[in-house]
């Protein structure tokens, strides 16, 4: 990674391998998984619910210790959308918005949660951003990081059936929303990768709902009956929540001293 002169050093990469490379030596790392992990985290934190990211079971099989992990943290374990019964918590932002009596949740997902769990072990500061809270996250970072600090923004992406990375345009939009605000607030020089993400977001700004509904992941969710999750993901800057990882859980940075 090359250092960007004049203020913050900004990095942007995609997927777990790119994320680990970008996060190496960074002062703060931002994970973006618009459909749906980080959107769900923003909804949860809006409601005062702490979210423990948990890696997706290898091969998509058994919970691989998630239930025991949830018990240790006195948390509710989220289930897969397709397995949910009334009252269950899932990766669904709409379901999280309707959850009742939940204070802590363990939230596995194959992309955003797995990436956050991985990067959270080494990042000095780990944040979760989506289109719902991109500006809030960028402002929080700009106000707290000294000139010369490094921020890595990682678009989580999706997976092809063979397990390889499927770059997800919605995550690039979310990354660009964070980076665009950071550029405006700090005046930092930007790499072509950062500028590409910012340009991608600018192309959909103001009509996020239509863009999310038309992208591959949005169509997949809609086909499964989760139109409302896509709609919530398009609530651009509706949230001032700044989810930061503390003791293994995302909580609102504004509540911390």
CB burial string 96-117: b at 16+ within 10 A, e below: beebeebebbbbbbbbbbbbbb
Residue 222 near residue 230, CB atoms below 8 Å: yes
pLDDT tens for 224-257 read 999 999 999 999 999 999 999 999 999 999 888 6
Q: Mean of the per-residue pLDDT values for the chain?
A: 93
Q: Give the integer Cα–Cα distance in Å for 170 and 165.
A: 14
Q: Give the integer Cα–Cα distance in Å for 158 and 188.
A: 29
Structure token pair of residue 251:
């909580």
DSSP string, 174-240: HHHHHHHHHHHHH-----HHHHHHHHHHHHHTT-HHHHHHHSHHHHHHHHTT-HHHHHHHT-TT---
pLDDT tens for 144-165 read 887 788 999 999 999 999 999 9
3-state secondary structure of 77: strand
* pLDDT confidence of residue 52: 98
Beta strands 104-109 and 50-55, pairing class: parallel
- The answer as to CATH 3.90.1560.10 being correct for domain 9-255 is yes
The residue extents of the domains of the chain are: 9-255
* pLDDT confidence of residue 201: 98
């Amino acid at each position: 990674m090359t250092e960007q002169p004049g203020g913050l050093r900004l990095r942007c990469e995609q997927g777990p391998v790119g994320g680990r490379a970008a996060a190496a030596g960074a002062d703060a790392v931002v994970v973006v998984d618009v459909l749906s992990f980080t959107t769900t985290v923003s909804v949860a934190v809006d409601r005062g619910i702490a979210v423990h990211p948990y890696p997706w079971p290898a091969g998509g099989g058994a919970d691989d210790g998630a239930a025991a992990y949830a018990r240790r943290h006195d948390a509710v374990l989220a289930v897969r959308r397709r397995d949910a019964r009334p009252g269950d918590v899932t990766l669904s932002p709409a379901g999280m918005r309707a959850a009742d009596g939940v204070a802590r949740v363990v939230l596995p997902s194959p992309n955003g949660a797995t990436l956050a769990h991985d990067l959270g072990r080494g990042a000095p500061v780990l944040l979760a951003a989506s289109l719902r809270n991109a500006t809030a996250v960028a402002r929080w970072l700009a106000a707290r990081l000294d000139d010369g600090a490094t921020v890595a923004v990682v678009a989580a992406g999706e997976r092809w059936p063979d397990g390889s990375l499927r770059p997800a345009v919605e995550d690039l939009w979310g990354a660009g929303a964070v980076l665009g605000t950071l550029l405006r607030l700090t005046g930092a020089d930007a790499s072509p990768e950062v500028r590409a993400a910012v340009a991608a977001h600018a192309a959909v700004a103001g009509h996020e709902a239509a863009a999310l509904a038309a992208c591959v992941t949005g169509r997949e969710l809609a086909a499964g009956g989760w139109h409302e999750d896509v709609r919530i993901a398009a609530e651009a800057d509706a949230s001032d929540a700044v989810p930061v990882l503390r003791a293994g859980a995302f909580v609102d940075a504004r509540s911390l001293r």
